[in-house]
Amino acid sequence: MKNIQVLDGVVNATYRIFQATDEEFTTIFSAPGQDIEFIEDFFARTEEGTARNILGHLWKRPILKRDAMGIYLPADRMTGA
């Protein structure tokens, strides 16, 4: 499982963390080294039923920030490359 942070665009936004399976993660962040995805782009390139299914499962796996053992960051961003 990988932890991903979801940013809500509302004025008083909260930044929640959810756990994604490796398969869900690869579907959401499909490009190598990709570290951001906009919901509009995700739905534009993913079959709607698949996108809704992935997000439905994701929303059921929130994790408290204090319990997160890190948030995903691509390897090239960690090394400063």
What is 32-78 written as a DSSP string? TT-----HHHHHHHS-HHHHHHHHHHHHT-EE-GGG-S-----HHHH
Burial of 4 (0-12, 13-18, 19+ CB in 10 A): buried
Residue 58: which region, alpha, beta or left (left: phi > 0; alpha: psi -120 to 50)?
alpha
Question: Comparing 1-5, 30-34, 44-48, 66-70, which segment has the lowest mean pLDDT?
Answer: 66-70
Q: How confident is the model at residue 68 (pLDDT cuts 50, 70, 90)?
A: confident
